[in-house]
Amino acid sequence: FITGHEDPTKPESALDWEVLARLKGTLVILMGVKNLPAIAASLTAHGKDPATPVAIIERGLRPDQRVTVGTLADVAEKARAAGVRPPAVIVIGGVVELYEGFEG
């Protein structure tokens, strides 16, 4: 679990994107909708496969929950097109392939 929203006045990120990109497990990002394009770009720039599955879960566990799925390569555009808004949790990794709406 990592933050997707750091203080924009900080001189540099506290997140080590190189290490995060190498992780084989699931990444869960909180508060990252606004920064999704930068998150996806940072992970792929540091070696994460652009085909890595991503799910954005809006309003989780509520009757109006919505899930948008894609890959690191296209999820930012899919989220923009779908009008994804906070609150949302971003899940990155193979576990997303278990979601019935995933069309990898």
Q: Could you read off the pLDDT of 61-90 as tens digits, one per residue?
A: 999 999 999 999 999 999 999 999 999 999
pLDDT band at 104 (very low <50, low <70, confident <90, very high): low
Return the percentage of the chain with pLDDT > 90, whole number: 80
pTM of the entire predicted model? 0.91
Ordered by start, the domain boundaries in the chain are 2-6+16-98
Gap between the Cα atoms of 29 and 18, Å rounded? 16
Helices (H), 24-71: 36-45
CATH superfamily name and code, 2-6+16-98: Tetrapyrrole methylase, C-terminal domain (3.30.950.10)
Gap between the Cα atoms of 59 and 68, Å rounded? 12
